[in-house]
Chains A and B, each alone.
Chain A
């Protein structure tokens, strides 16, 4: 089955004759389509230990006499959840990185006697579940209204798809950058100010010319017309309807058509008067000046319309009931394919069946396959930071590395592989340049990327792009790598680097022996103070474990000076001595799965990924990424039906 479209009729037959059997017969590529959503993401209420439980069992009876808010011993105040978290002795999701847990486990606290093992397990369970304050979600951040602008990428894809052209719209580079929100520009609530408006007008003027010149657009007019015969009915209207529906991602309203007609008539008449002396070439089939001016004015109006530049699908109250169907179709299409609804989605919106949950689920899976490259580029590309380098040629090492990252994610989506595969897929993609750079044997001898089996390469933590972009010039940076992994892969938030911290860092650096080995220097810094330890007990094990990858992403066992690469720290309670053991210590954790889910929630719904643990859903199993994506997008669309 080269095309995986399943007509709606087939789907109904599938459902009628028994969901599972025929579904697998006709839709074999969608083996992971869930028969009901949310099999992987569960609400918290069932299995999470709360602060109150731990407080009652351990802190109140055994700790509070010293660690209270009057004169907290060692600066550690256990009198409230807030004060405890400010004390920086808990690392949510990781009991083995939490100094409070460690000091109780090794028996240094409490001084009056040991905490019994059942209570210690309870403490570990509480921390490993995210160290939630309570199950009460009332303190969770209210989601800010999502009123996004169209991204520059979406702008380009819509124009390219509509005109059937491939060449880049370079003028888009003159638009001010859309500041990302939570790392994603597709949910950016950024206003259009005067400068941005002017830039959009400039871009619209040249894009209108491009649209008018595209063969697929000219072909919408009667083919037998010659210059001077084009008018509203036979040419302008079909073009403006075609373009308007794609730009606005919904049918044009009748009052809009009337207004466009008025602009067209007025401007073509005025242009006819202004350019009356302009010579008209004879015998051409092109548009004459007055028709072209009227059409161009109307197209520019559409291209700077709020209905195009803002995602009105998300603005409350703008769409009426019938348009709501198109809003769902458009949200699906923009979220995954960065474009307007394709023919199949448009029909489902027209006949209203788009509101059925099972159809939406099916469409999400179809779109994820159809647009896996675009989704990889925009979601994973922004999440993992490789998107900007995809613009570079693949003959450039940064461009090739970005492509490797993009293709691996695309494959994971296409093959419906588990979240854990993001760290250990078992394969990677290389072209000749990258295979030579990384010393991977392949049979490719040109710029084409091929899939190669590899247990070492391909995972997020072993991809060239991550390794190179988190290195300093000419050397690795275990600190940068550690911070990146904590933030991007585990969604952990480190305390901000304030002036006091910067001062402490400078002081610590000054006291470290410059001739010491890297591992010794990091140890000395880590142990300088409690503040240093809080962050570096998390950063250092990651950074050191990745030292086998050099600053260019190549494998090594020794440093340039010949000294061996050694890593002897624990992360998540496991010795992480090399990149593989680090990946293993992360890939099966709930924290990692939750982080992927949080990034998807941010991308699709603008949910703040740095919220407290009790504010997010828990991904309890190692779930296929496509399924998790589908469930998250479906959840963000719930308000629409």
Chain B
């Protein structure tokens, strides 16, 4: 009987490690304590995939050397690669649907978008399913990109723009609006105008009185109008109630410093803007104000985003750079943007580490396509990040066949103690998680 190598055996079992063998034996004690159920979830989306000069499904999405866009994660005293798991051979998307619209919307749901300008629908996302089980003062945080992308040409009839700009859906037809300004997020979580206790309490009472008054107005209007109108009033009232519930919950929290500017220009201070968001999110997690956050580093397509302020002036917007067509200048810009986003992920992971939150937090970092030039929906760049010796952080896991992105979502849910037998729809429906591969 012919013997087979250990590596081949593992590969035949469904996955293999592609790091050098020694890398697989990262000293576990140096990583963290055992972590089982996670407390916090952060989902991060970036648009337009990566640069894939090779057809091996790896392209530039690796950390092996300077050519890899993930290289920075392995560098310096603040390296975080030990907290990052690279997942390879992940597929997303539905046949016949453009991934720029489909995959951001389905990033956390695995559901198929409905092509209807009037009634966009995607389906409930896992961040909201996790939020259902938490009971924190702030149910979840949704953080938006620097602008709302409206597709300028009508080459996608019946594709609502909302799909490119929202990754969190509370209900089938209810995308959640992200916060677009760090100061707004700060104010939302850590509001308080200063002064003595009596004055703070007064400001609290003032806001509560206003919210109560407007809530009663909403009920009065709801009672008079049609069922559709009533739903709109109820949604608004529910938002006000949520804000009211958060009032005064943060008196004993350690607050981050407040952002000192309004970020109105999408091209300026992009990195600073995202870092401010991440800092506030981490303080909110630490303070138990919330356990769930989603972020769009930028909307899908991002055809109006150049990153002039941080990366220098350039002819190509992000989308144009992704469609490189072999142009060296475009490739260089796309890689620059990718590396900037990876730098931002590194910033977040370091904050989590610094505040002792790494072991209890899972971060899913992904995009809408693999090759931004060809819109390939196999081999989607996907990272799962966090701490704990129970998961194979610090490694690359390559499945032998393309696995649905939804299977990862099922895995994530299970790590929050939520067992689902299935998730997603159509070709993205999954009935099995990937725990046996990503867990130690």
User: What is A's interface to B at a CB cutoff of 8 Å?
Assistant: 144-145, 147, 170-171, 173-174, 176-177, 179-182, 189, 191-199, 201-202, 259, 263, 266-267, 270-271, 273-275, 293, 297, 300-301, 304-307, 310, 312, 315-318, 385, 469-470, 472-474, 480, 483-484, 486-488, 493-500, 502, 506, 608, 610
- CB–CB A193/B177 < 8 A: yes
B206 near A293 with CB under 8 A, answer: yes
Interface residue? B375 (CB, 8 A):
yes
CA distance A182 to B243 in the complex (A): 32
**CB-CB nearest in chain B for A174:** B181
Say which residue of B195, B213, B228 sits within 8 Å of A263 (CB atoms).
Answer: B213
> Do residues B229 and A193 form an inter-chain contact, with CB atoms below 8 A?
no
Binds A, one of B29-37, B75-83, B93-101: B93-101
Chain A residues near B142 (CB, 8 Å)? 195
Contact at B117–A181, with CB atoms within 8 Å? yes
Q: A235: shortest Cβ distance to chain B, in Å? A: 19
Count A/B pairs, Cβ under 8 Å.
201
Inter-chain CA distance A194–B221, complex, in Å, is: 19
Select from chain B the residue with minimum beta-carbon distance to A267.
B206
Minimum CB–CB distance for B136 against chain A, Å = 13
What is the CA–CA distance of A310 and B232 in the complex, to the nearest angstrom?
9
B96 touches A487 (CB 8 A): no
A625-B258 Cα distance, complex, nearest whole Å = 51
Residues on B with beta carbons closer than 8 Å to the beta carbon of A192: 232, 235-236, 239
What distance in Å separates the Cβ of B416 from its nearest Cβ neighbour in chain A? 22
**A residues less than 8 Å from B187 (CB atoms):** 198, 202
Which residues of B have CB within 8 Å of A317? Answer: 224-226, 229
How far, in angstroms, from A244 to B206 measured CA to CA in the complex?
A: 19
Measured CA separation A312–B221 after assembly (Å): 9
Checking B154, B180, B183, B205 against A270 with a beta-carbon cut-off of 8 angstroms, the contacting residue is B205
* Interface CB pairs A-B, < 8 A, 17: A174-B184, A177-B150, A181-B117, A182-B117, A191-B236, A192-B235, A193-B177, A195-B176, A197-B243, A263-B213, A297-B210, A315-B229, A318-B225, A469-B152, A497-B156, A499-B96, A610-B117
Assess whether A470 is in contact with B206, with CB atoms less than 8 Å apart.
Answer: no
Contact A488 B229 (CB under 8 A): no
A194, B226: Cβ atoms closer than 8 Å = no
What's the minimum C-beta distance from A385 to chain B, rounded to whole angstroms?
A: 6
Instruction: Tell whether, in the assembled complex, residue B117 and residue A170 are in contact, meaning their CB atoms are under 8 Å apart.
Output: no
| Contact yes or no, B225 A385, CB < 8 A | no
CB pair A266 B209 closer than 8 Å:
yes
In the complex, which of the residues A197, A274, A306, A315 contacts B201, with contact meaning CB atoms closer than 8 Å? A274
Q: Do A201 and B221 form a contact, CB below 8 Å, given A193-B177, A195-B179? A: no
Asked if residues A306 and B239 are in contact (CB atoms below 8 Å), the reply is no
Residues in A with CB closer than 8 Å to B206 are 267, 270-271, 293, 297
**Contact partners of B262 in chain A: CB under 8 A:** 170-171, 173-174
A201 adjacent to B177 (CB under 8 Å): no
B97 touches A499 (CB 8 A): yes
Given known contacts A196-B177, A473-B320, A500-B96, is B160 in contact with A179 (CB within 8 Å)?
Answer: yes
- Evaluate contact between A194 and B242: CB separation under 8 angstroms: yes
Whether B214 and A301, one on each chain, are in contact in the complex, defined by CB atoms closer than 8 angstroms, is yes
State the Cβ distance, B158 to closest chain A Cβ, in Å: 7
The interface residues of chain A lying within 8 Å CB-to-CB of B176 are 193-195
Decide yes or no whether B354 CB sits under 8 A from chain A.
no
A267 pairs with B153, CB closer than 8 A:
no
Cross-chain contact A201 with B152 (CB below 8 angstroms): no
Q: Determine if B228 and A145 form an interchain contact, defined as CB atoms under 8 angstroms apart.
A: yes
Closest B residue, CB atoms, query A146: B228
Residues of A within 8 A of B207 (CB): 201
Across the interface, which residues of A come within 8 angstroms of B209, CB to CB? 263, 266-267, 297
CB neighbours (8 Å) of B156 from chain A are 496-497
Cross-chain contact B155 with A494 (CB below 8 angstroms): yes
Tell me the bound Cα distance from A496 to B117 in angstroms.
14
In contact, A498 and B97 (Cβ under 8 angstroms): yes
**Interfacial chain A residues near B150, Cβ < 8 Å:** 177, 180
Residue B274 CB within 8 A of the other chain: no
Contact present for A196 and B239 (CB under 8 Å)? yes
Q: Most B CB atoms within 10 A — which of A173, A307, A472?
A: A173
**Residue of A171, A192, A304, A506 most packed against chain B (CB within 10 A):** A192
- Is B41 at the interface (CB under 8 A from chain A)? no
> CB distance A305 to B217 under 8 Å?
yes
Closest B residue by C-beta to A270: B202
Bound-state Cα–Cα, A307 to B231, Å = 15
| A194-B176, A270-B206, A496-B159 given; 10 more Cβ-contact pairs under 8 Å | A145-B226, A174-B180, A174-B183, A193-B177, A202-B184, A274-B199, A305-B214, A315-B225, A473-B320, A493-B154
Residue of A nearest to B141 (CB): A195
Report the separation of the CA atoms of residues A174 and B236 in the bound assembly, to the nearest whole angstrom: 18
In angstroms, how far is the closest chain B Cβ from the Cβ of A327?
Answer: 13
Distance (Å) between the CB of A328 and the closest chain B CB? Answer: 18
Structural contact, A170 and B264, CB atoms closer than 8 A: yes
C-alpha spacing A486/B118, complex, angstroms: 21
Q: Is the CB of B148 within 8 A of A145?
A: no
Q: Are B214 and A304 in contact (CB under 8 A)?
A: yes
Question: How far in angstroms is the closest Cβ of chain A from B293?
Answer: 12
Chain A residues near B205: list those with CB within 8 A: 267, 270
Tell me whether B243 and A201 are in contact (CB under 8 A).
yes
* Set A196, A263, A315, A493: member contacting B226, Cβ < 8 A: A315
Instruction: Using known A-B contacts A191-B236, A195-B178, A301-B210, determine if residue A502 contacts B160 with beta carbons closer than 8 Å.
Output: no
Say whether, besides A267-B206, A274-B202, A483-B154, A145 and B236 are in contact (CB < 8 Å): no
Chain B positions 49-70 with a Cβ under 8 Å from a chain A Cβ: none
Asked if B18 lies at the interface with its beta carbon under 8 angstroms from chain A, I say no
B265-307 interface code vs A (CB 8 A; 1 in, 0 out): 0000000000000000000000000000000000000000000
Task: Provide the bound-state CA to CA distance between A144 and B227, in Å.
Answer: 12
Closest CB in chain A relative to B343 CB, distance in Å: 25
B415 touches A (CB below 8 Å): no
Chain B residues positioned under 8 Å from A312 (CB to CB): 221
* Contact pick for B154, options A181, A301, A474, A484, CB 8 Å: A484
Report B-chain residues with C-beta under 8 Å of the C-beta of A469: 152
Q: Complex formed: what's the CA distance from A176 to B181 in Å?
A: 10
| Contact across chains for B118 and A176 when beta carbons are under 8 A apart | no
Do residues A191 and B235 form an inter-chain contact, with CB atoms below 8 A? yes
Q: Which residues of A contact B199 (CB under 8 A)?
A: 274-275
Q: Which residues of A contact B148 (CB under 8 A)?
A: 176-177, 179
Cα distance, A179 to B187, chains bound together (Å) = 24
Residues of B within 8 A of A300 (CB): 210
A608-B117 in contact given A270-B202, A483-B153, A497-B156 (Cβ < 8 Å): yes
CA distance A600 to B159 in the complex (A): 21
Most buried by B among A176, A180, A494: A176
CB nearest to A178 among chain B residues: B148
Q: How far is the CA of A18 from the CA of B150 in the complex (A)?
A: 51
- In the A-B complex, list the 7 residue pairs whose CB atoms are closest, starting with the nearest: A487-B154, A177-B148, A274-B202, A194-B239, A498-B96, A197-B239, A192-B236
Most buried by B among A182, A304, A608: A304
B360 interface residue (CB < 8 Å to A): no
Task: Point out the residues of chain B lying under 8 angstroms from A484, CB to CB.
Answer: 153-154
- Is there contact, CB below 8 Å, between B157 and A197? no
- Cα A525 to Cα B110 in complex, Å, equals 35
The answer to whether the Cβ of B238 comes within 8 Å of any Cβ in the partner chain is: yes
Closest to A477 in B: B153
Residues of A close to B213: CB separation below 8 A: 259, 263, 301
Task: Give bound CA distance, A472 to B195, whole Å.
Answer: 55
Q: Give the nearest-CB partner of A481 in chain B.
A: B153
Residues in B neighbouring A199, C-beta threshold 8 A: 179, 184
**B320 proximity list for chain A (CB < 8 A):** 472-473
Do B316 and A473 have beta carbons less than 8 Å apart?
yes
What per-residue 1/0 map shows which CB atoms of B370-392 lie under 8 Å from chain A?
00001100000000000000000
In the bound complex, what is the Cα–Cα distance between A469 and B144 (angstroms)? 25
Residues in chain B near residue A270, CB distance under 8 A? 202, 205-206
Q: Does B198 contact A (CB under 8 A)?
A: yes
Q: Which residues of chain B are near A497, meaning CB under 8 Å?
A: 98, 155-156
- In the bound assembly, the distance between CA atoms of A316 and B225 in angstroms comes to 5
